[in-house]
Amino acid sequence: MLKVVKFGGSSMADAGQYRKIRDIILDDPARQVVVVSAAGKRFSDDHKITDLLYLCHAHSQYGVDCNRVFDMIKSRYQEIRADLGITVEIDDELDALKRRLDKKAISQDELASRGEYFSAKLMAAYLGFKFVDSADWVFFKMDGTVDKEKSYAALKELAAGESVVIPGFYGKMPDGNIKTFTRGGSDITGALAAAALDADIYENWTDVSGILMADPRIVENPETIPEVTYDELRELSYSGAQVLHEGTIFPVREKSIPLNIRNTNAPADAGTMIKEGFDTPVNPDRFITGITGKKNFSIISISKRGLSNEVGTLRKILTVLERHNISVDYVPNGIDNVSVVLETDALTPNLYDVLQEIQAEVNPDTVDVHDQIAVVAAVGRHMAGRPGISGKLFAALGEAGINIRMINQGPDELNIIFGVSNDDFAQAIRVLYNSFAK
Ligand code: ASP
């Protein structure tokens, strides 16, 4: 049995958190591969080390000294080391890093990656595990994607039969330069390590006890989702839930490795289990897995008499949007009307060009733009094939006086998506949660 365990920034924030991690590791001998983030915030006004590193790089680019910021980074790691009473040499490396920074001789990616690097050095010393540098096994291709075959083979060799600590977030380009993933990318490193080593499970330890059924800023004390499928998670994240870095699922899913989100501060909680599928539902009466959504969409509504008999109109509309590099989220349509739903921020800079081009190419009777639209998604694998679900949802929303502006359901029946006015967004989520998720 092998478990790859990844600890996020808040789990690495100070020596107290390191101690919790050690207890978690000691609790289960299968937890042999540990992937770590840079130190995160210890309290709400605190700074993440990664943010400070980016800040330092920006300073150096403008020729402004960043001594104070760099000292904050340095002392953070030195404090953790002192508190844990371990001896591991990081001072010379930190000083060398500062010299390179002062000479503008370090790339932004390499500097940003050092947060994870020093975290892993300290954690390896503290646990007595071997340090495996991600520059020695996460290999990027020239196009910026990970060369999985080469990377997996390298990690297999480096970690064979040993307990290791690995820094998240970065790897090496073919030219030898360090490259980071996008922010939050240590999740991906953990997923790659799990896939490389054919782990039995990938545990992603954070500061919440799993994925919540709804945004806690909207719903008071929402329940945790005990089990969610990869497909549902994709829907939930796409529609707004902030869970894992979006590149995380792919490597583990390819190898059918379950992913378990756990809480470093509440290790007894089971968290959320993410898998391809589950045998029996935890709660057979519950058909909604989670409710999420996003505000600030626009609907462009195009009407033309006889539109339904025309060929190619939709393509023309989508081509206009493609030309402006605007991604379309939903395309609800009527008989002689078709609408496109897209993010307002993406549309605004090109709004008049887009409208004028649609006018010229489609020659519609009317084109209207509706702003301030929120999209809400009720996601759940148990909705499929069960008649009456959408009736129940919309009845509850109707009773609460919420006007539905758009409805969308895919044939896989994994979600029901609808548009409401921004003002009704929070209320719509609360109504669904209180009616069906509790
Ligand atoms: N430390 C990086 C960040 O703050 C990567 C990570 O924590 O996943 O984005």
Regarding the beta carbon of 169 and ligand 1, being less than 6 Å apart is answered: yes
| Residue 271 Cα to ligand 1 middle (Å) | 21
339 and 299 Cβ atoms separated by less than 8 Å: yes
pLDDT of residue 235: 85
Regarding the beta carbon of 272 and ligand 1, being less than 6 Å apart is answered: no
pLDDT of residue 260: 97
Which of ligand 1's atoms lies nearest the C-alpha of 181?
Answer: 5
pLDDT of residue 238: 76
User: What's the rounded Cα separation, in Å, for the pair 407 and 249?
Assistant: 28
pLDDT tens for each residue of 113-156 = 999 999 999 999 999 999 999 999 999 999 999 999 999 999 99
pLDDT of residue 409: 86
> Which residue, by CA, sits nearest to atom 8 of ligand 1?
184
pLDDT of residue 97: 96
| Residue 37 Cα to ligand 1 middle (Å) | 6
The structural domains of the chain, ordered by start, are: 3-207 (3.40.1160.10), 290-437 (3.30.2130.10)
> Which residue, by CA, sits nearest to atom 2 of ligand 1?
184
Collapsing DSSP to helix, strand or coil, 75 comes out as: helix
Go through the chain and tell me how many residues it has.
Answer: 438
Collapsing DSSP to helix, strand or coil, 130 comes out as: strand
Regarding the beta carbon of 139 and ligand 1, being less than 6 Å apart is answered: no
Which of ligand 1's atoms lies nearest the C-alpha of 189?
Answer: 8
User: What's the rounded Cα separation, in Å, for the pair 432 and 411?
Assistant: 21
Distances (CA, A) of 189 to 18, 79, 263, 386: 19, 26, 19, 39
Collapsing DSSP to helix, strand or coil, 175 comes out as: coil
pLDDT of residue 410: 78
* Full DSSP string of 357-409: HHHHHH--SEEEEEEEEEEEEEE-GGGTT-TTHHHHHHHHHHHTTPPP-EEEE
Q: Which residues of the chain have pLDDT under 50?
A: none
Closest CA to 289 of 236, 241, 238: 236
Regarding the beta carbon of 48 and ligand 1, being less than 6 Å apart is answered: yes
Alpha-carbon Rg for the chain, nearest whole angstrom, is 25
Regarding the beta carbon of 380 and ligand 1, being less than 6 Å apart is answered: no
Task: Provide CB contacts within 8 A for 142, sequence distance 6+.
Answer: 173, 174
Ligand 1 test: best mutation among 17, 36, 37, 134, most atoms within 8 Å of CB?
37
Question: How many other CB atoms are found less than 10 A from the CB of residue 399?
Answer: 10
Closest CA to 9 of 172, 162, 120: 120
User: What's the rounded Cα separation, in Å, for the pair 366 and 437?
Assistant: 40
User: What's the rounded Cα separation, in Å, for the pair 417 and 378?
Assistant: 6
Regarding the beta carbon of 184 and ligand 1, being less than 6 Å apart is answered: yes
Residue with tokens 């994994």, as numbered in its chain: 414
User: What's the rounded Cα separation, in Å, for the pair 416 and 409?
Assistant: 5
User: What's the rounded Cα separation, in Å, for the pair 5 and 262?
Assistant: 10
Which 8-state DSSP code applies to residue 325? Answer: T
